[in-house]
Amino acid sequence: MNALEWNRDLTRPLREIRDREAGMTDRPDRGRGTVCLPELRRGNIGLVVATQIARYSKLTHPLPGWHSPRQAWAMTQGQLAWYRAMEEAGELVQIKDAAGLEKHLKLWGVDGAPISKSAVNPTDDRAELEFGAPKPIGYILSLEGADSIVTLGHLERSYEQGLRAVGPAHYGPGTYAFGTDSVGTIGAKGRELLKEMDRLGLILDATHLCDQSFREALDCFGGSVWASHSNCRVLTPHNRQFTDEQIKELIGRGAVIGAPLDAWMMIPNWVRGQTTPEATGLKLDTMVAHIDHICQLAGNANHSGIGTDLDGGFGREQSPMDLDSIADLQRLPELFRARGYSATDIEGIMHGNFLRFLRSAWR
């Protein structure tokens, strides 16, 4: 989305991307983006969940989007084409099975088990290959909102293309489920989608499902479940976040919940375009507070991870004030240590929990 719709060359340095957007006003985050491939490497981030996203908006849909499912499909195929182009350039590598995951982890210096250096050292040199070229960043292909799946045959085609996780809904009423700021059931089409996902071994992403669709989806899906980027409703009262009961259910399913850094999902009463991080004092420690709440509910640190959403249509204007780029995730271990988290727990949150989840899901 950032590459095609925002027209950002994510292979370039962040300062260059920001300078090129100076004076642009078509999007609120122009000149304030926080993500590019060099910054991922500077932060020693070698594995990401990469999104395909395209909403189908019917005439009565409250949000903008594509006017037919096939247009939405075409958009996700364009996004896939960008990922493929980055693979050809040596910038990315698709991770879609256990063997590929282990091979990639060895490339980045993680051999069989988490290691503390990769979790805490922002100057780690393993983002570079021995001959000086940048290491490819691994990406796990995910679909955020399934409106672009025209038929179940399209889902199987997507699986063959490397798709490994699906969130059935995004915002509003979707084809297969109801998402954020809407209320409704998954219905017959949603159940058929989930059945096919289960058959293919796709991960169900519970992020964005409204409460009713969340309940029904977990009831009828037997496979692996994660929440790629969601916070806690008790700390930020809004239907976008999970209730404690939902968090406990996800924990019971062995899920890992990734914590996002979009300000309105971190603190109450945020008004987009008006509230600022500086006025509220919003910092990275608020993310740690959401993660800590999940850990307290679980009784351990095994179900939390990092799910920044920093490529999700916002920039520094709607991020913690002590974050300039995604590389600043390397400040998190110190914040966890200050709360008494052990080195093992910190490694789990920074990467180990999601790796354990994937090893189990792809067993």
Predicted pLDDT at 132: 62
Of 28-32, 56-60, 97-101, the one with minimum mean pLDDT is 56-60
Residue-by-residue DSSP string for 17-85: HHHHTTT--SSTTTT-----HHHHHHTT--EEEEEE---B--TT-SS--BSSHHHHHHHHHHHHHHHHH
Residue 72 is assigned to a structural domain of this protein: yes
Phi, psi of 14 (to 5 degrees): -60, -40
309, two tokens:
């959403």
**Does 3 reside within a domain?**
no
Mean local confidence (pLDDT), 18-47: 97
Q: Is the pLDDT of residue 123 over 50?
A: no
Structurally, the chain folds into a number of domains equal to: 1
**CATH number of 249's domain:** 3.20.20.140
Residue 138 lies in a domain: yes
- Residue 77 sits in which domain range? 14-361
Residue 133 confidence class, pLDDT cut points 50, 70, 90: confident
Backbone angles phi, psi at 129, to 5 degrees: -70, 165
pLDDT in tens, 213-253: 999 999 999 999 999 999 999 999 999 999 999 999 999 99
The verdict on residue 1 lying in a domain is: no
The distance in angstroms from the start CA to the end CA of the chain is 31
For residue range 270-326, list pLDDT tens digits in order: 999 999 999 999 999 999 999 999 999 999 999 999 999 999 999 999 999 999 999
Tokens matching residue 183: 């209320």
pTM: 0.94
Could you tell me the two tokens for 197? 């996902």
pLDDT (average), residues 341-351: 98
